[in-house]
Amino acid sequence: MLEEERAANGALERALTVFLAGAECPFTCSFCDLWRGTLDGPTPAGALPLQLSRVLESLSGRVPDRLKLYNASNFFDRQAVPREDVPRLAELAAPFAAVTVESHANTIGPLTLEFATLLSGRLEVAIGLETIHPVAAEHLNKRLDLTRFDRAAAFLAAHNIDLRVFVLLGAPYVPADESIEWVVRTARYAAERGASRIAIIPVRGGNGEIERLKALGDFVPPTLTQLETALERCLSLTPATVSADLWDVERLPACSACRAPRVARLKRLNLTGSLEPAVTCSQCG
């Protein structure tokens, strides 16, 4: 996937996101549906470099500024990314000025530095903080406490590695009328600990567990207008760059009359970081 995104300095950069198929993440978070694109066992050696090389061979024109390697798991888990593949992945990433990988905070450490050293560009690690709501954080099965997140963030900062953070909108166990407020609190927490980019991700159904929690009243699907409001309130968290994740945005409950202009406005806010007049709608008010 090729897209534009706003960098920490406000400039626009072209990013190539490559979705790699590998081992399933061992952290079975209640909200996650990414396991559907993973393998049943460890990632075979050579599989990831082969996938990445095929994508890069298909590129034409100017090389994008950033390469995002998303493997639906943890880049620094050697069941997911075999050690012998790391040098080759770094070699394939050489043309890019920056590389982003995703990994659980518990995996941040020496292997992170090893990869950063091999890269010719700058490394960014994306970590799911999700929410700092105490009840929700306890029940998401994330196995991440704030102390561990803080250590990971401090480690990255100490070694000049950038931090991107994922924050959930509509996290299970967060009351619907408090959902936006906890997004803002969580994003602020991440920004205060050095996150240069923060992505607000609406929780999606479809993994089975979310449907069970919805039936119990522990999950209420977030809406498009909630995503708008959450992003608006987080845009001021400078110097962090905050954006709304628009993957599957068409699944968010919304007024049919104003859905399209609201999505278009969210795309503009993501790129500019500047507030603009709200969408008005005679049907939903």
CATH at residue 51: 3.20.20.70
Summarised one tens digit per residue, pLDDT across range 257-271 is 999 999 999 999 999
Residue 237: phi, psi to the nearest 5? Answer: -80, 50
- Scored b (16 or more CB within 10 A) or e, 13-36 reads bebbbbebebbbbebebbbbbbee
In a domain, 282, yes or no: no
In a domain, 278, yes or no: no
Q: Model-level pTM greater than 0.85? A: yes
Per the model's pLDDT, the better-predicted residue between 78 and 8 turns out to be 78
In a domain, 195, yes or no: yes
In a domain, 118, yes or no: yes
Map tokens 């790129």 to a residue: 271
Summarised one tens digit per residue, pLDDT across range 182-215 is 999 999 999 999 999 999 999 988 888 999 999 9
Using a 10 angstrom Cβ sphere, with 0-12 exposed, 13-18 middle and 19 or more buried, the burial of residue 39 is middle
In a domain, 190, yes or no: yes
pLDDT surpasses 80 at 232: yes
pLDDT surpasses 90 at 26: no
**Amino acid type, 267:** K
Nearest in space to 42 (alpha carbons), one of 77, 11, 79: 79
Summarised one tens digit per residue, pLDDT across range 43-92 is 999 999 999 999 999 998 889 999 999 999 999 999 999 999 999 999 99
In a domain, 146, yes or no: yes
Cα separation values, 145 from 51, 55, 165, Å: 34, 36, 15
State the residue range of the domain holding 169. Answer: 2-272
In a domain, 182, yes or no: yes
Question: What is d(CA 96, CA 122) in angstroms, rounded to the nearest whole number?
Answer: 9
Number of domains forming the structure of the chain: 1
Summarised one tens digit per residue, pLDDT across range 100-158 is 999 999 999 999 999 999 999 999 999 999 999 999 999 998 989 999 999 999 999 99
